A and B are shown apart, each in its own frame.
Chain A
Amino acid sequence: MFGEEELVKVHKTRAGMIGNIVFAAFGLILARLWYLQVYKGEQLHQFSIQNRLRKEVVWAPRGMIHSRDDQLLVDNIPRYDAILTPQYLLEKEETLEKLHKILMMEPGSIEKLLKKNQNQATYRPITIKKNIGFDELAQIESLNAELPGVSVQTFISREYKDKEVGAHLLGYISEISQQQLPKFRKRDAMDYRLGDFIGQFGIEEQLDKFLRGANGHEFVEVDSRGRRKRYINTDNLFKGIEDEKPNQGMNVKLTIDRDMQMAGYAALEGKVGSIIALDIESGEVLAMVSRPAFDPSQFSRGLTPEYWRSLITNTENPLRDRNIQEHYSPGSTFKAITGISAFEEGVIDENTEVFCNGNLRFGRKVYHCWKREGHGATSITKAIRESCNVYFQRAAMKMSIDTIAKYATMFGLGKRTGISLPREVSGLIPTEAWKQKRYGQVWQPGETLSCAIGQSYVLASTIQMAQAYGAIANGGKIYRPYVVKDIYTPKGDLIKTFTPELLSDFKLKNEKTLKYVREGLFQVVNNPKGTAFYRRGKGIQMAGKTGTSQVVRATADKVYQKCEQMDYDYRHHGVFVGFAPYDNPKIAAAALVEHGCHGSSAATPVVEAVVTAYMQKYHPESYLQNLEKDKEIHTQWVKTLKAPAAPAEE
């Protein structure tokens, strides 16, 4: 046995050997460095300054987006930017003068750009002009030798064929900003770089991982002046090279019909509002337009500050999708729900008549009907047809708000529809408990009367209203709305298909309920006394309900003031929700026009345009038959007509 100190001593030889190993190892390193830096130094130095091989990203083209009728909605086109790398800029004045001429830019403007970017590293290219034309491209390429430091960068730009049409639905792509970088990296577990494009809105955002594809890379040689040339094997240093081709993103087919989109967009011309149309037997969204809109192509091209400013300073907020990101008071369109609640609860039946004298006193308050002289004796169908406030408020007096809320919720109101698009709002169906929680106050019975006609706290988006009316039409089936039908590989192989999702299928207790409510909705459009008769369209046999959504609560003296005479910001929103055709419903649609004053004049034509486009395209026989029926209605009406009264508008 050794003592501790002896032990250390015994191992001294080995320690010495380790020391020698360490010396030898670093001798080897230094020899290698000598070989590289001194023996081959000159050669490698030449490489480093002359022969610059760079690995560059080749962007994958994003997938294309088609409509349900196989029309191309979103495409990719190449775009060229003129760029300048200050590091390689020689004979500055001469070069810039030539460049100004070629790009037809004001003399001195490039110098300004250079000055603006003078703090960044000189090897980093500066974009001189975006989206140059082919002749400019050709000139730069052919004068390559005379323009040191100037080159052309190719991008694939996203092209939205119909510009603003459906912009909110399709969304846009744009560069990831510094602030977004960590968020997106974390979200997708992808190593994003600044300058990467990513879907930031609508379908482009929601389906980004399918549309995106995979970037490839290629090797380019950069000479000492920074001009890129495609790699040519000039020496033996780099041989056997393979670039990696990018993989194009998946193609997407939407449930959207392009013609209906166009019809909806045109009908909203000059208006602020939105239209959405749903297939009631599947939840497929057939049309979805919101105006004012924006041009998504601008985002993928690199937004100009002016355009961006014009978007964000516009008080109508063109970046908001009014179908799903905005909720409104549904106004009289909510009466169908109140009617269903009352019928189901036994508060009314088809024979109940209420006498409307133009107002209703409740407690200390007077509730006015929109028709000053009153509707007289009113049944449920008449009440819906002529939108009598008093009828529904009388019915609501016998119900609690929670009862109405129960039916509203059943029809999908007050919660998100779950459409696979970002940032949907939920709307609001108030209950007593809700008010207690939200305001800490007790529910006032008078508030029930306001809610019964879709005012006060009640809020719904157009997509919710279309879904609810779809359920009225199909007998209680609520589908989750969806916009994407299929996803294909670039070669055309189907990889994913979306099918209808039935969220709930409820049966109402009283089978008469829907019969009479539907009858009322039909008369709104097809009975000469209906609020939308004069906007009924042709060949679509539509049923529906007009509504006005009060922007500010009307004071007593303003109740009967003509809406058109008010300041724009105080005018009511016009709403129309309906379904068609009446005897065999296929489609439900809702439109809202902000400050449009009347549901009938502002919103009904929008729905009518979209539904007409639908019927003509998908049910042409039914459309023709309905045309005949319309003629009948028309002749009937003309017969009964002695002196045409002013159109009733609500």
Chain B
Amino acid sequence: MYQTLLQYLKRYDFSFLGSFFAIFLVGVLNLYSATHSQSHEGLDMLYRSQIIWWLLASVVAVVVSVVFNPKTFERVSYFVYGVTFFLLILVMVMGDVGMGAQRWLQLGPIRMQPSEFMKLGLAMALARYFARVQPEKELSFRDLLLPGIIAGVPAIMVIIQPDLGTGMLLLLIFAMMIFYKRLKWRTIATLVIGALVAGVLMYNFGLREYQRKRIHTFIDPYADAKGSGYNAIQSEIAIGSGRLFGKGFKNSSQASLQYLPENHTDFVFAIFNEEHGFFGSVFLVVLYLIMFMRLIWLASSVQRFYDSVLVVGIMAIFFWHTFVNMSMVSGLMPIVGIPLPMMSYGGSAMLTYGVCIGMVTAISNSRNFFN
């Protein structure tokens, strides 16, 4: 008994749980630093609930990795997708309006953001679809029809909540997965051109005023420095003022003076940069990179194609969040509300990441056990 447990532990892949913990640790310290002065807003205790969320997420991750076999994931893929889809519909019908958008769902004492869960649901459904339907075939336009619907419908539902950021993120996850599933280069070229045209059309006819404003602000934030450009500029000042070594832990003046809104969610990376400077952010970026590289390696070393596609999907979830958030905070992209994985405060997101970590660990373990 003891021997088998030891055996099991030896083969257990702790790398993802480790990454998860390492980034969370940096994140929770940063969260504490960003909010410690905001006692009058009641935010200074936020880091405690973040710890609780992380603990919960870790338990979920371990349970998922120990209890489930990757084959189970494949079996329940459509089901998970269906449930999250149903929750999205519920949000439309009876969701809570928070910060001007209808994103939240109150089920009894639990308040959740189904669009968060949809990311994983989408990755699972696509993985199953690609693993089952002509898995060897290179994708062309015609093959994109069904997967396009699987990804497009929830993306549109999220965009009209309105949560443009998360909606685009679903599409980006989709994009990375079809790229992995060998989308033909010719199709890629056509798609890029098509997307450009669609983007211009959408900008002119499809976007809401505030969304359009964000794009303006992005192109020239200083044109409206005190209006919509305010956050972008304050964020850049925060990052830049950190210089090489940063101002030190709990010394973010931008945060403490509350120039930055959403200190605890979308702009944590700016606070981190202000306090720890360029070297600090290199360290953090490397932490993320290690995790992503390990995931990409895992995608190519599993036996089952479903597992492989799913790992790419999960990698895409983490990667796009990280990239989009860092880009927007540092002024490479317009400001859309995308949190930084494990760093930003957020319960639904943390739980989703926990499930993701559990799944990839289970996949990695199955590789060790049945070799």
Contact = CB atoms under 8 A, between A and B. Distances in A.
Given A18-B312, A30-B285, A7 B135 contact: yes
Interface stretch (A45-53, A277-285, A433-441, A455-463): A45-53
Given A123-B256, A194-B41, A241-B226, A4 B304 contact: yes
Given A14-B180, A22-B319, A7 B222 contact: no
A8 B292 CA distance: 18
A11 B274 CA distance: 41
Interface in B247-285: 253-254, 256-257, 259, 273-274, 277-278, 281-282, 285
A116 interface: no
A238 B225 contact: yes
Given A37-B242, A121-B37, A18 B176 contact: yes
Contact of A26 (B226, B288, B302): B288
Given A123-B256, A239-B223, A242-B226, A8 B302 contact: yes
A15 B278 contact: no
A1 B230 CA distance: 57
A114 B266 CA distance: 35
Interface string B308-320: 1000100100010
B226 A41 contact: no
Contact of B278 (A23, A37, A194): A37
B187 interface: no
Interface residues of B, number: 63
Interface in A203-249: 219, 236-243
Nearest to B285: A26
A contact residues, range: 35 or more
A29 B259 contact: no
Interface string A1-24: 110110111111011111100110
A45 B303 contact: no
B18 interface: no
Contacts of B136: 1-2, 7, 10
Nearest to A51: B237
A54 interface: yes
B223 A38 contact: no
Contacts of A32: 327, 330-332
Nearest to B323: A25
A38 B330 contact: no
Contact of A11 (B37, B233, B237, B300): B300
Interface in A113-140: 121, 123
A28 B332 contact: yes
B229 to A, nearest CB: 9
Nearest to B40: A194
Given A36-B240, A38-B243, A41-B243, A8 B225 contact: no
B226 A238 contact: yes
A19 B285 contact: no
Contacts of A236: 222
B15 interface: no
B257 A15 contact: no
Contacts of B226: 53, 55, 219, 238, 241-243
B224 interface: yes
A7 B132 CA distance: 12
B322 to A, nearest CB: 8
Nearest to B226: A241
Nearest to B305: A7
A380 to B, nearest CB: 62
B292 A22 contact: yes
B181 interface: yes
Interface string A245-270: 00000000000000000000000000
A564 interface: no
A7 B326 CA distance: 34
B181 to A, nearest CB: 7
A241 B303 contact: no
Contact of B222 (A40, A55, A237, A243): A237
A25 B278 CA distance: 17
Nearest to A43: B240
B330 A33 contact: yes
A223 to B, nearest CB: 13
Contacts of A33: 239, 273, 278, 281, 330
A44 to B, nearest CB: 3
Given A16-B296, A37-B243, A52-B259, 6 more contacts: A8-B300, A14-B182, A19-B296, A23-B289, A41-B278, A48-B253
Q: 8 tightest CB-CB pairs across the interface, nearest first? A: A44-B240, A48-B241, A238-B225, A41-B243, A241-B226, A7-B305, A36-B240, A45-B241
